[in-house]
């Protein structure tokens, strides 16, 4: 069975609890990126600040160190949670015209993301960046139009 070969959660209870914490952290704090994309003005500035704080926390406390991935040398649930956020964040940055995820500010995360997106299973299964851009641009334009009425 694949769970024994590619486990998403560690076997050790403490490590498993940490993984669950970071996955929940991604879920809870990742909303800042969606708010950043769907708002303007002060709301957008606050969402940007919240998103930067999330990335800073992850950079400083995510225990990447010399590891290729959050769980060491194999992709786990934390990598999947944050990897999907970063893919969307890159699209959001293009649409909004503001870069948040910068290599010089988040070197460990940037290195991790390059490792993550180069894994063949990931590379071959994520949507094309241009398709994501077109899809989300249409969505954002509708959102902005609805809020301006």
Domains and CATH numbers, the chain: 11-144 (1.20.1050.10)
Q: What percent of the chain has pLDDT over 70?
A: 95
Residue 63's SS3 state is coil
Q: Please report which confidence band the pLDDT of residue 148 belongs to, taking 50, 70 and 90 as the band edges.
A: confident
pTM: 0.86
Q: Please report which confidence band the pLDDT of residue 64 belongs to, taking 50, 70 and 90 as the band edges.
A: confident
pLDDT at position 25: 95
**Beta strands, E only, 11-108:** none
Q: Please report which confidence band the pLDDT of residue 147 belongs to, taking 50, 70 and 90 as the band edges.
A: confident
Mean pLDDT of the chain: 90
pLDDT at 137 exceeding the cut of 80: yes
pLDDT at 132 exceeding the cut of 70: yes
pLDDT at 82 exceeding the cut of 60: yes
The whole-number average pLDDT for the span 67-85 is: 91
Phi-psi region of 72 (alpha: psi -120 to 50; beta: other; left: phi over 0): left
Rounded to whole angstroms, the Cα distance separating 25 from 69 reads: 17
Rounded to whole angstroms, the Cα distance separating 86 from 75 reads: 15
The whole-number average pLDDT for the span 61-78 is: 88
pLDDT at position 63: 82
């Amino acid at each position: 069975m694949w769970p024994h070969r590619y486990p998403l959660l560690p076997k050790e209870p403490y490590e498993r609890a940490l993984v669950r914490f970071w996955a929940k952290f991604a879920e809870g704090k990742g909303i800042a990126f969606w708010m950043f994309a769907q708002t303007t003005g002060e709301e957008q500035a606050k969402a940007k600040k919240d998103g930067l704080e999330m990335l800073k926390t992850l950079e400083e406390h995510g225990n990447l160190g010399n590891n290729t991935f959050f769980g060491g040398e194999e992709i786990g649930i934390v990598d999947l949670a944050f990897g999907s956020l970063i893919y969307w964040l890159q699209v959001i940055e293009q649409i909004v015209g503001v870069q948040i995820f910068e290599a010089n500010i988040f070197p460990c995360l940037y290195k991790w993301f390059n490792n993550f997106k180069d894994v063949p299973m990931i590379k071959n299964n994520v949507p094309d960046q241009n398709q994501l851009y077109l899809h989300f641009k249409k969505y954002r334009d509708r959102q902005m139009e609805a809020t301006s009425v």
